[in-house]
Amino acid sequence: MQNKIKLPGLIDPHVHLREPGATQKEDFETGTKAAIAGGYTLVLDMPNNPIPTISPQALQEKIDLARGRIYADVGFHFGASSKSIQYFNEISGKVFGLKVYMNQTTGDLLMEDDQTLEAVFSTWPKNLPVLVHAEGDTLQKAIFLAKKFGNQLHVCHVSLRKEIELIKAAKRNGLQISSEVTCHHLFLTNEDAKRLGAYGLMKPPLSSKEDQDALWQAVVEGTIDMIASDHAPHTRAEKEGEKPPYGVPGLETTLPLLLTAVNDGRLTLERLIELTSTNPKRIFGILQQPETFVEVETIPYTLNPNNLFTKCGWTPFVGMKVTGRVKKVVLRGKMVYDGQNIFGPYGQILKG
């Protein structure tokens, strides 16, 4: 691999910027600085805040809070709940997708009731994706509903071989289905979970080596469409507390890890660009950011938490040797990162 490489600005379809309500973990400023330092010029924020993004007011509050404080471009996903269905048409022009939590995770948006799920899938506009947190067998239900109501389905953080089989079969049957995988599932397994304790705790949990091998194969051959960070920061105190929350940060480690895979011959640079830019752009209908790019350098170093921009200040990849560092980020013609310092804020709210 060449020493210096230019890439399009990366796009992350799945981040938790935590504002409002959990700014001890992250906020719009620190989260989008972490994005830029990681080579991401555009991120899509999830709705599972303490006051969830399930009403036009909550969405507007996020937009108002983000304005003038974001370093990368930010778009939002709306949250599904029995209370939010009534607003689907009203807010659909302001968001990139609807997030449906079909398993327990951080936040209070779990939906298990079949009747409500049917109402959600049937009411959501068909031109925008339904993103599902659906682990293992739950994914079967999501695929069934998307097929029944003609939805565009996006499967978040695929972590198991059996989920890949379900996605492949759904693709063969002509369903409009896309999916993402995270770097924690690609680079860590349940063996690492023992060592990491609460810092390796997330949903879906770290899986087996066999599952991880299947994820890599699916990433390489094209069954998986995107890499998402699922950047889900929590404070050290929360992670070390009685009941540690699920989730790990990822915005600043994803590109270094993927470049390491390219350097090791596990992934081509072309595929990296499809997974982190071309496909998210196409699937979420994201417009080109003009004069926007990232320069990376393939030098070896060890990941450490000291120079991270994320407010949480830790990474589950601490101590890992990687080859690939972000040297420069340019957003709409302006240098926003020089390898050390962030400049701005020059981020825009998308559809807001």
What is the binding site for ligand NCD (CB under 6 A)?
A: 16, 48, 105-106, 133, 202-203, 230, 232, 246-247
Look at residue 331 and give the partner it binds from Zn ion, ligand NCD, none, a contact being a CB closer than 5 to 8 Å depending on partner kind. none
Q: How far apart are CA 226 and CA 11, in angstroms?
A: 9
Q: Which stretch binds Zn ion (CB under 5 A): 17-25, 79-87, 133-141, 252-260?
A: 133-141
Nearer to ligand NCD, 179 or 292 (CB): 179
Look at residue 293 and give the partner it binds from Zn ion, ligand NCD, none, a contact being a CB closer than 5 to 8 Å depending on partner kind. none
Tokens representing residue 79 in the block: 């949250």
CB of 132 to Zn ion, least distance (A): 9
- b/e map of 60-76 (b: 16 or more CB within 10 Å)? ebbeebbeebbbbbbbb
Are 75 and 96 in contact by the 8 Å Cβ rule? The answer is yes
Nearer to Zn ion, 133 or 154 (CB): 133
CB of 180 to ligand NCD, least distance (A): 11
Nearer to ligand NCD, 105 or 152 (CB): 105
CB of 133 to ligand NCD, least distance (A): 5
Q: Which stretch binds Zn ion (CB under 5 A): 24-32, 130-138, 180-188, 288-296?
A: 130-138
Tokens representing residue 234 in the block: 């929590």
The set of residues, in sequence order, having a beta carbon less than 8 Å from that of 317 and lying 6+ positions away, is 183, 187, 188, 253, 257, 303
In 173-318, alpha helices (H): 183-187, 190-196, 209-221, 236-239, 254-263, 269-273, 279-283
- b/e map of 208-236 (b: 16 or more CB within 10 Å)? eeebbebbbebbeeebbbbbbbbbbbbbe
Nearer to ligand NCD, 23 or 278 (CB): 23
With contacts defined by CB under 5 A, how many residues of the chain interact with Zn ion? 1
Nearer to Zn ion, 106 or 212 (CB): 106
Per-residue 3-state assignment (H helix, E strand, C coil) for 115-141: HHHHHHHHHCCCCCCEEEECCCCHHHH
CB of 333 to ligand NCD, least distance (A): 33
Q: Which stretch binds Zn ion (CB under 5 A): 127-135, 173-181, 272-280, 313-321?
A: 127-135
Is residue 62 near Zn ion by the rule CB under 5 A? no
Residue number with the smallest Cβ distance to ligand NCD: 247
Helix, strand, coil shares of the chain, percent, nearest 5, are 35, 20, 45
Nearest to 314 by CA among 259, 238, 258: 238
Of positions 16, 62, 133, 154, contacts Zn ion by CB under 5 A: 133
Burial category of 9 from C-beta neighbours within 10 Å (exposed 0-12, middle 13-18, buried 19 and up): buried
Nearer to Zn ion, 216 or 246 (CB): 246
CB of 304 to Zn ion, least distance (A): 27
**Dihedral sign of CA atoms 97, 102, 105, 109 in order:** positive
CB of 184 to ligand NCD, least distance (A): 9
CB of 48 to Zn ion, least distance (A): 8
CB of 157 to Zn ion, least distance (A): 6
Are 34 and 249 in contact by the 8 Å Cβ rule? The answer is yes
Nearer to ligand NCD, 16 or 239 (CB): 16
CB of 247 to Zn ion, least distance (A): 9
Nearer to ligand NCD, 11 or 202 (CB): 202
Beta strands 153-155 and 177-182 are: parallel
Q: How many separate helices (H) and strands (E) can be counted in the chain?
A: 13, 12
Residue 334, φ and ψ in degrees, nearest 5: -105, 135
Nearer to ligand NCD, 50 or 68 (CB): 50
Q: Which stretch binds Zn ion (CB under 5 A): 19-27, 131-139, 182-190, 273-281?
A: 131-139
Nearest to 206 by CA among 237, 167, 234, 248: 248
Binding site for Zn ion (CB under 5 A): 133
